[in-house]
Amino acid sequence: MKILVVGGTGYIGSVCAELLLDEGHSVSIFDNLSEGHRAAIDSRAEFFEGDLQDRQSIEKALARQKPDAVMHFAANALVGESMQNPSKYFRNNIANGLNLLDAMLGAGVGKIVFSSTCAIFGPPERVPIDETTPKQPINPYGESKLGFEKILRWYDEIHGLRFIALRYFNAAGASTKFGEDHSVETHLIPNVLKVALGEKPAVEIFGTDYETPDGTCIRDYIHIIDLARAHILALTSNKSDFYNLGTGGGASVREVIDSCRKITGRKIDIVEKPRRPGDPPRLIASSEKIKRELGWKPQFQSLDAIIESAWKWHQKFPRGYGD
């Protein structure tokens, strides 16, 4: 298939492009490089530098490649920033996404795989979180993703645009080529590994008095390779649908830090801080639906395997992509 990966120079998009190419697909990448990296572009892919707010630039990319489907990763994704600047999140994650959908209709491209988030659910009423869990986002980031999911449903009903929306929390790990390098790093595992690399003095733990076995928050970590394989499987679906993605397990903040200490063999100091507002004690996703309907089988179920792959990449690229 010919696939246009929108936001393909970022963490998840770059690994998805790599796996698509490994499987023999023809891949083009569209990105404005505001959050991604030129060094994260697979040399086998064609690259279009452009911005979704410029409708003509995405129309040109679609006309040039004539893809069979689009994978859409281009979004702002910092929860804290969305609480300070909601306009940025609604403009980029919804309005610019509409430019993509309308350009796809104009080009006759009838399928999209959308990178959504479990942040659409807010603090869940129960765990693990399945697709029937009530959706009550508590920040503009989650609200913007939920809004775009609703738009996708209407574009399917009115225009016949097929979609798969994949919702996940904590992508982690790395491929041999591409890994996690954000300009503002909020994710736990890379921040812990930065301490192991000597780039930070200590890792902060926000809240040690939660109702969990060790008092720290529990989150569901999914290997970036397994995540990418789910996106590729989504291309085979002939219907529109929503799927949650996770390992079905979960690891606490302290367990992540302990695993990083074991994998790296290095001292990792911690600083305990008060809870952050809005942090639920447990966030664990159920993936039973995508396993049952699309045959998804995650290969990296252990936290150690996820962290080991991330550590190898960070050792190889201690300052990330360097751009």
Q: Which residues are catalytic?
A: 141
Taking the C-alpha atoms of residue 190 and residue 236, their distance in angstroms, rounded to an integer, is 32
Rounded-to-5 percentages of helix, strand, coil across the chain: 40, 20, 40
Taking the C-alpha atoms of residue 178 and residue 175, their distance in angstroms, rounded to an integer, is 5
Which of 28, 25, 23, 2 lies closest to 13, judged by CA? 28
Amino acid at 287: S
Label residue 153 exposed, middle or buried (CB < 10 Å: 0-12, 13-18, 19+): middle
Specify whether the CB–CB gap between 314 and 179 falls below 8 A. yes
Taking the C-alpha atoms of residue 81 and residue 310, their distance in angstroms, rounded to an integer, is 25
Half-sphere exposure (Cβ direction) of 293: Cα atoms closer than 13 Å = 18
Q: Where on the phi/psi map is residue 270: left (φ > 0), alpha (ψ -120 to 50), or beta?
A: beta
Return the H-helix or E-strand segment holding 323: none
Specify whether the CB–CB gap between 167 and 120 falls below 8 A. yes
Query: The tokens of 281 are what?
Result: 């004690």
